[in-house]
A and B are shown apart, each in its own frame.
Chain A
Amino acid sequence: GAVVSQHPSWVICKSGTSVKIECRSLDFQATTMFWYRQFPKQSLMLMATSNEGSKATYEQGVEKDKFLINHASLTLSTLTVTSAHPEDSSFYICSAKKGATDTQYFGPGTRLTVL
């Protein structure tokens, strides 16, 4: 199998606070994980690529100081949204690559609402 989990599945926070989202590969090791965000009725937008033990690579237009990514082990990557604002409200989804193929397996997503 190739199961990816995310925690929490939803979170509500106040403007100005930070929120951490965890992404775990449960039955395989993932040297590379990805973070996406998705707005209603739109496709996935890649935010960053996370490689175990090294700094994440951010897509153009994504603030690396606002969206902190840590990939400290082969089964865990975290995304921290710092000083969250209402415009950061979105559906955040992680994925992980298994083995040498480019196939990505996705987590169930985290719904973030910033009040």
Chain B
Amino acid sequence: EDQVTQSPEALRLQEGESSSLNCSYTVSGLRGLFWYRQDPGKGPEFLFTLYSAGEEKEKERLKATLTKKESFLHITAPKPEDSATYLCAVSGGYNKLIFGAGTRLAVHP
């Protein structure tokens, strides 16, 4: 069964303290792995799509990487405005995304 597991469930960081979020997945025939950011009371905001192992993408303080079994979202020198829930999802041989439960990130000044 296709599955996505994110860890940790919640993460508290001090401003400037870099860290990584993990997304482990099992899917038959990966078509893409997706990272989204969701603020409370809002819809998810698209961050990255990764298609194959070894691929990396960056946007400001965020960097996403992909292996055959997991993806990492690295956050470098985070700021309080990076506080949000980060969602990971995968698509396999079907027309829908399988989401993880998310990681709630809190960055304190």
Residues on A facing B (Cβ under 8 Å)? 2, 4, 6, 32, 34, 42-44, 46, 49, 91, 93, 95, 101-109, 111
Contacts and interface: CB of A to CB of B under 8 A. Distances in A.
B42 interface: yes
Given A43-B100, A44-B87, A32 B44 contact: no
Of listed B87, B96, B100, residue having the most chain A CB within 10 A = B96
Given A43-B101, A103-B32, A32 B46 contact: no
Contact of A101 (B32, B41, B100): B32
A105 B49 CA distance: 12
Contact of A42 (B32, B46, B101): B101
Given A43-B99, A101-B32, A104-B97, A111 B41 contact: yes
Nearest to B34: A103
B2 interface: no
Contacts of B46: 2, 103-106
B34 A93 contact: no
B45 interface: yes
Given A32-B95, A34-B96, A102-B31, A43 B87 contact: yes
A105 B46 CA distance: 6
B43 A46 contact: no
Which 10 residue pairs across A and B have the least CB separation, nearest first?
A106-B43, A102-B91, A109-B43, A106-B44, A93-B43, A108-B43, A43-B99, A102-B32, A43-B101, A103-B49
7 contacts: A43-B100, A44-B44, A44-B87, A91-B41, A102-B91, A103-B32, A109-B41
B87 to A, nearest CB: 7
B78 interface: no
Contacts of A6: 43
A1 to B, nearest CB: 11
Contacts of B49: 101-103
